[in-house]
Amino acid sequence: MIDPNVVTLTVDQHDYAGWKSVEISAGIERQARSFDVSITWQWPGTEISHPITPGAACEVRIGGELILTGWVFAAPITYDGKQVTLTISGRSKTADLIDCSAINKPGQWTGVGVLTIVQALAAPYELKVISEIPETSKLAKHNIEPGESVFKSIDRLLTLFRIFSTDDEYGNVVLARPGSRGQSADALELGKNVLSAKIARDFSGIFSEYRVIGQQTGNDKTFGKEASEVSAEVTDTRHDDPGRKKRLRVLIVHEDAPITPTLALSRANWERGQRAGKALLTTYKVQGWRQSNGALWRHNTMVRVVDPVIGFAGRNMLISAVTYSLTDQGTITTLVVGPPEGFQSEPGDPNKRSKVQVNQDAYSWLLPIDEETTA
């Protein structure tokens, strides 16, 4: 029977295990998952071999479950008078889209959807694109900027439609829907499985007013000033205190790509929603890599969080990133969690939410726990 926590690195059809140090990371906002594994020999007196070299194709598994398909990018060696340490570092196949330039010719698309453009951008590097979201409306135009990487071009495109680009265990590009992996079996609960936690509670990125300004391409019905100027504006009154003077904080976002009034309003709503959600991003560490049912902790799953110190009272959060690590302290999973509103492409209007809530915690004034009833 396979040890459920054994980490196996497969290179050239050979399996390598017995690693003394491990770190494997993935996340919905990461375009490529990564790994670092190392082993140490006593030296002198031990024969040192170098069977794994940079550039080799590889697969990483935990207990037989495929976690990453990609490439070995580095194999550094360190030693002193007593020991030698070999580290193998690699990333998903999608790392090539981060590092490499977009080379499509002519490098311009008109009147097609996002998925079609992303597939075209990834095609020269022989990477498959999987979409978990409905096809978007067709774009007026998208151009590759000289010298930009593939993922930089993709990100410019996806930001317009508030879509996340990430990867999967097979090394495919994924246009991800937040929470698509479902609900985790275990909760994160102080006093039960939480080893440590950290939250910045930094609200410097939240504003009272969000304005998006851009331009749209003219056509037979839209031309002149109407075609060249597009703007949208939303407000956020959640910070207003009846006993205090209202504080004006304005953020203006200039959208470079051609944009419609509808897209401008959606972008403004997204800025408001994701900034509020990101203010509550929290990092938790738990012992082990697996939940009580044997399943690995996975990113892009929902998890209930009970933490009276930070102020979460059963709030359902999205695991946005996960890191599996093995050190002298054993196996640890580091989870970054945040309110789903911080990742949704179309967050609701917080100014129209019902004030009636069944559950409350320290942040209900900002993001209600329950599904909200809009006015």
Looking up residue 162, the CATH number of its domain turns out to be: 3.55.50.10
The answer to whether residues 217 and 82 belong to one domain is no
Pairing label, strands 173-176, 129-131: parallel
The answer to whether residues 263 and 310 belong to one domain is no
Q: Given 277, 310, 326, which residue is the final one in a domain? A: 277
311 Rama sector, left if φ>0, alpha if ψ -120 to 50, beta otherwise: left
Q: Are the CB atoms for 316 and 182 separated by under 8 Å? A: no
Pairing label, strands 83-92, 65-74: antiparallel
pLDDT given for residue 372 in this prediction: 39
Instruction: For residue 112, give both structure tokens.
Output: 């097609």
The answer to whether residues 194 and 342 belong to one domain is yes
**What are 31-73's pLDDT values in tens digits?**
999 999 999 888 777 776 778 999 999 999 999 999 999 999 9
pLDDT given for residue 1 in this prediction: 73
Q: Are the CB atoms for 367 and 339 separated by under 8 Å? A: yes
The answer to whether residues 312 and 289 belong to one domain is yes
| Gap between the Cα atoms of 296 and 184, Å rounded | 9
According to DSSP, residue 201 is labeled -
The answer to whether residues 120 and 263 belong to one domain is no
Pairing label, strands 108-109, 142-143: antiparallel
| Gap between the Cα atoms of 68 and 136, Å rounded | 29
pLDDT given for residue 333 in this prediction: 99
| Gap between the Cα atoms of 89 and 19, Å rounded | 13
Residue 267 placed within a domain:
yes
pLDDT given for residue 375 in this prediction: 31
Number of domains in the chain: 4
The answer to whether residues 258 and 141 belong to one domain is no
pLDDT given for residue 220 in this prediction: 53
**What are 351-367's pLDDT values in tens digits?**
665 444 456 888 887 88
pLDDT given for residue 134 in this prediction: 82
The answer to whether residues 193 and 325 belong to one domain is yes
Domain that holds residue 39: 7-92
Q: Are the CB atoms for 94 and 32 separated by under 8 Å? A: yes
pLDDT given for residue 291 in this prediction: 98
Helical pair 150-161 and 261-278, crossing angle rounded to 10 deg: 100
Q: Given 92, 107, 135, which residue is the final one in a domain? A: 92
**Residue whose entry in the numeric block shows the structure tokens 């009147």:** 111
**Residue whose entry in the numeric block shows the structure tokens 């050239």:** 12
242 Rama sector, left if φ>0, alpha if ψ -120 to 50, beta otherwise: alpha
| Gap between the Cα atoms of 330 and 52, Å rounded | 25
Residue 41 placed within a domain:
yes
Residue 371 placed within a domain:
no
Pairing label, strands 173-176, 302-307: unpaired
pLDDT given for residue 225 in this prediction: 59
Give the H/E segment covering residue 374. none
What predicted TM-score, i.e. pTM, was given to this entire model? 0.89
Pairing label, strands 57-62, 65-74: antiparallel
The answer to whether residues 72 and 103 belong to one domain is no
The answer to whether residues 69 and 107 belong to one domain is no
Residue 294 placed within a domain:
yes
CA 244-245-249 angle, 5° bins: 120
222 Rama sector, left if φ>0, alpha if ψ -120 to 50, beta otherwise: beta
The answer to whether residues 88 and 11 belong to one domain is yes
CATH number at residue 75: 2.30.300.10
pLDDT given for residue 196 in this prediction: 98
Residue 325 placed within a domain:
yes
Residue 366 placed within a domain:
no
Residue 235 placed within a domain:
yes
Largest Cα–Cα separation, the chain:
81
The answer to whether residues 138 and 149 belong to one domain is yes
Q: Given 44, 61, 92, which residue is the final one in a domain? A: 92
Instruction: For residue 120, give both structure tokens.
Output: 């075209």
Mean pLDDT by 10 residues, the chain (375 residues): 93 94 98 96 75 95 98 95 93 98 95 93 98 78 94 90 92 94 97 98 94 79 66 86 79 88 90 92 98 98 98 96 96 97 77 55 78 36
Residue 167 placed within a domain:
yes
3-state secondary structure of 1: coil
The answer to whether residues 194 and 337 belong to one domain is yes
Contacts of residue 166, defined as CB under 8 A and 6 or more positions apart, other chains included, come to 26, 27, 28, 29, 30, 31, 173, 174, 176, 300
Q: Are the CB atoms for 280 and 238 separated by under 8 Å? A: no
